[in-house]
Amino acid sequence: MIDRRTLLKAGLATAPLAGISFAEAPQPDVPWQRRIRRLGQLNMTEHDPISLNVEEWADYWASLKIDAVLVSVTGILAFYQTKVPFHRKGKYLGDRDFFGECCAAAKKRGLRVIARMSPDLNWEDAVQAHPEWFQRNAQGEAVRHGEDPRLFRTCMFSTYMTDYMPAIMREINSLYDVDGLFTNAWPPLGSLPVCYCDQCRRLPRPGTPAFWDKFNDRVMYLWKLYDGIAKEKKPSNFYFANLGGGIRSGPNLKLLGEVCEWFQCDNQGRGGDLTPIWGCALQGRVCAAVQQGKMATNVTAAWSTGTPRWRNVFKSPQEAQMWMNETLASGMVPYWHFIGGEKGMGEDRRWLEAGRQYFVWTAKHDRHFVNRRSIANIGVVMGQRAHLFYTPPRGATMSQFIDGMYYALVEGRFLFDFIHEDNLAPENLKKYAAVLLPNTALLSDEQCRQLRAYVDAGGSLLGTFETSLYSERNERRADFGLADVFGIRKAGDVIGTTGNGYYARIEKRHPILEGFTNTNWLPGAEYRLPVAPVDGPVLTVVPGFVAYPPELSYPVESRTDEPAVVLREKGKSRLAWFPGDIERTLWRSGHTDLSRLLQNAIRWVSGGSQPVTVAGDGVAEVFAWETEPGFAVHVLNYTNPAMHKGWIREFYPIGPQKVRMRLPAGMRVTRVELLRAAADTPFRIAGGALEFTIARVADYEVAAVYCA
């Protein structure tokens, strides 16, 4: 993880145990959960009551300068002497109050305690006594857990959630000095439940917008019920739940953001499949879009994520470090997590020092990680409904659209925010020079009206493929809901490819073609939805043809009047429409021309100006935030052979990164400190902008800009 030389320079080579809270000084108007900067959790096993040293456990978390720790209750197996029926005690618990001992040890060290519960599973004796509590398959059988068939899945629409779980919560409140209640494994992370119990058979068909309405009603009801129970203990207590899933999340994130004090992202890491390294940063952008400054944490697994899993062995330390880098850079609070406390906090103890080093470093710089607002002039609409209900063409997934757009934005080093589709009111869009719609297929009439008003007020839009072709209820329109805004008209159904994709012929020069020379053709997308001809097209479609045999690999029709992009200027607004799934095809193919074309189009619609630029070699994601001392510019170095697959094994440093930041009028910069390098860097003010150079970025650097 962070090397010892860096720690010595920072004066943090050792971390003494402490008997006081590490949270910031009390701020009367700020809830305590918004002041915490570090969290920890040892996910306890049934065996831990006879194998875990509680004092050693508490000392470890205190040494990380954490502010709160999650302690298992749980709901599947009790870690205390419960009297709630069907709350089974672990077989190694005996007469011990294991939860109570952990709670007391944490409190002695000044740590907040969150009671962790799992409402998703229970045992066969509960099924026999309360069959109405459990999920059923289409044949009416109780649904067993996929890994341990002794356990059965509970139904969120049953009285299990309104009787059994509240009984445990109130019992915990009555016995222990806890600061909050948390449920693991509920609500669902990235999909909606499918259940055929008597209660669920009365609901709309699973997987439909009508079912989602009922699902969201239930989530809001239970959330408020549990939060009320938490506050029965004391007014400052609250409830929160296991969340995550990025854009494809179960609950309506806009509604959830209105009641959720703490967004707990269970986005613990990636594995060996084709998963980009920026998954945690993407999750942070989702949180920032819905939490509006309230608490958001991301759980970083020290254990080995992916397939297959090794829940009790440390993963690559470089991979874990990058995941926590992204947590901080994207505005979330880091959270360190492992499974089981055997033999001094696990049979594999490599995770212990790795977490300590990282968290002690963050503690030195807390105020630079408390963000007031994002400094970004591009917004990307996150179409949650499209991710849940829209059916893309065969072989396509909605995640490919967002991954492709994200890739282009990272390669172009654009500063951007996510915007939830239900947050398109003028006050939320006015800060952005341009708004991007990556195949945001489902948009209501009202959302289309809001985007139209944004353009009328001078904002710019970029849309792709089937954006606005469906209503919010997933009902197909005869034409695009934003047809008049982009100046387009649907002229057919989706066309795919039988070999070659289609091509785009360059008809005339335009800024979106910057960097393309000595060619008449560019690659097109894999799928396109034809639009009617327009005047003066920049790119036109060359229809696809076979790739094999090569003797027949030539166009039957080499020139058409079908546009491959529609560009329009309306007053101060710039509008770009790609009829093809350009971002998804970029992600699938990795073609550099598609990335360049998309970056150029983003640059054109946004006016070519950014509030902060970071120029240099390498693949890097950039965030910029206003903070209490001034500003913080975060640079994440993704230049790595494991950027898309597997775990990062080592870091490949990138050289000088030249930073230029436009300054608000009247603001004076007094100092620029590089937090990872533990050194100041020279700077100058030129033309109303701050300029400085970050000499080297190994995995992550934070430039803290102090202002007066």
Could you report the per-residue pLDDT of 540-584, keeping only the tens digit for each? 999 999 899 999 999 988 899 999 999 999 999 999 999 999 999
Are 568 and 533 in the same domain? yes
Are 389 and 315 in the same domain? no
Are 322 and 427 in the same domain? no
Backbone angles phi, psi at 621, to 5 degrees: -100, 140
Give 499's pLDDT tier (boundaries 50, 70, 90).
confident
Strands 630-637 and 620-627 turn out to be: antiparallel
The length of the chain is 708
pLDDT for 6 equals 44
pLDDT for 641 equals 95
pLDDT for 21 equals 34
Q: How far apart are CA 8 and CA 19, in angstroms?
A: 24
Question: Is 145 within the bounds of a domain?
Answer: no
Helices (H), 44-201: 48-51, 54-63, 98-108, 124-129, 165-175, 198-201
Tokens read off for 7:
């720690």
Sole residue written with tokens 């509008």 = 575
Name which of 638, 615, 616, 611 is nearest 626 in CA terms: 611
Name which of 659, 656, 686 is nearest 672 in CA terms: 659
Question: Is 424 within the bounds of a domain?
Answer: yes
pLDDT at 8 over 50: no
Q: How far apart are CA 269 and CA 291, in angstroms?
A: 22
> How many Å from the N-terminal Cα to the C-terminal Cα in the chain?
34
* Domain C-terminal end among 576, 605, 634: 605
Mean pLDDT lowest among 171-185, 215-229, 270-284, 310-324: 270-284
Sole residue written with tokens 């209501």 = 444
pLDDT for 28 equals 58
Averaged pLDDT score across all residues of the chain = 93
Tokens read off for 186:
């509920």
Higher confidence at residue 7 or residue 157? Answer: 157
Q: How far apart are CA 321 and CA 96, in angstroms?
A: 36
| Domain with 60 in it | 4-115+157-364
Classify residue 92 as exposed, middle or buried by CB count within 10 Å of its CB (0-12, 13-18, 19+).
Answer: middle
pLDDT tens for 289-318 read 999 889 999 999 999 998 888 999 999 999
Are 403 and 353 in the same domain? no
Question: Is 369 within the bounds of a domain?
Answer: no
Is-contact 472 209, C-beta < 8 A? yes
Write the CATH number for 567: 3.40.50.880
Is-contact 35 24, C-beta < 8 A? yes
Write the CATH number for 97: 3.20.20.80
pLDDT for 4 equals 40
Are 200 and 345 in the same domain? yes
Calculate mean pLDDT across residues 457-465: 98
The identity of residue 566, as a single letter, is V
Q: How far apart are CA 432 and CA 407, in angstroms?
A: 20
Is-contact 492 529, C-beta < 8 A? yes
Give 101's pLDDT tier (boundaries 50, 70, 90).
very high
pLDDT for 19 equals 33
Calculate mean pLDDT across residues 650-663: 97
Report percent pLDDT > 90 for the chain. 87
Question: In angstroms, what is the C-alpha Rg of the chain?
Answer: 27
pLDDT at 11 over 80: no
Question: Is 691 within the bounds of a domain?
Answer: yes
Question: Is 126 within the bounds of a domain?
Answer: no
Q: How far apart are CA 455 and CA 429, in angstroms?
A: 10
Write the CATH number for 641: 2.60.40.1180
Question: Is 129 within the bounds of a domain?
Answer: no
pLDDT at 94 over 50: yes
Q: What share of the chain is helix, strand, coil (3-state, %, to 5)?
A: 30, 25, 45
Give the side-chain half-sphere CA count within 13 A for 608. Answer: 5
Helices (H), 292-397: 317-329, 342-345, 350-364, 384-389
Helices (H), 209-298: 209-233, 253-259, 279-291
pLDDT at 10 over 50: no
pLDDT for 36 equals 94
DSSP 395-436: T--HHHHHHHHHHHHHHTT--EEEEETT--SHHHHTT-SEEE
Report percent pLDDT > 70 for the chain. 96
Higher confidence at residue 10 or residue 706? Answer: 706
The H-or-E segment that residue 334 falls in is strand 333-339
Calculate mean pLDDT across residues 346-352: 92
pLDDT tens for 209-228 read 999 999 999 999 999 999 99
pLDDT for 358 equals 97
Are 417 and 506 in the same domain? yes
The count of structural domains within the chain is 3
Q: Which residues pair with 112 in a beta bridge?
A: 68
SS3 assignment, position 626: strand
Q: How far apart are CA 530 and CA 198, in angstroms?
A: 46
Q: How far apart are CA 686 and CA 702, in angstroms?
A: 22
**What angle is formed at CA 38 by the lines to CA 35 and CA 41, rounded to 5 degrees?**
125
* Domain C-terminal end among 558, 587, 605: 605
Is-contact 220 213, C-beta < 8 A? no
pLDDT at 22 over 60: no
pLDDT at 189 over 70: yes
Calculate mean pLDDT across residues 507-512: 98
Are 525 and 671 in the same domain? no
Question: Is 520 within the bounds of a domain?
Answer: yes
Are 536 and 422 in the same domain? yes
Are 480 and 336 in the same domain? no
pTM score, whole prediction:
0.94
Give 501's pLDDT tier (boundaries 50, 70, 90).
confident
Q: How far apart are CA 330 and CA 22, in angstroms?
A: 22
Chain-centroid distance of CA 51 in Å reads 35
* Domain C-terminal end among 334, 364, 394: 364
Question: Is 121 within the bounds of a domain?
Answer: no
pLDDT tens for 369-417 read 999 999 999 999 999 999 999 999 998 999 999 999 999 999 999 999 9
Burial readout 220-236 (b: 16 or more C-beta within 10 A, e: otherwise): bebbebbbebbeebeee
Q: How far apart are CA 130 and CA 122, in angstroms?
A: 11
Q: Which residues pair with 41 in a beta bridge?
A: 70, 337
Are 106 and 62 in the same domain? yes
Calculate mean pLDDT across residues 180-202: 93
Is-contact 293 262, C-beta < 8 A? no
Are 267 and 304 in the same domain? yes
Tokens read off for 274:
């084709």
Other C-beta atoms closer than 10 Å to the C-beta of 4 total 9
Calculate mean pLDDT across residues 682-702: 97
Backbone angles phi, psi at 191, to 5 degrees: -150, 170
Is-contact 178 232, C-beta < 8 A? no
Are 558 and 695 in the same domain? no
Backbone angles phi, psi at 565, to 5 degrees: -155, 145
The identity of residue 660, as a single letter, is R
pLDDT for 344 equals 83
Whether the ω angle into residue 543 lies within 30 degrees of 0, i.e. cis, is no
pLDDT for 117 equals 96
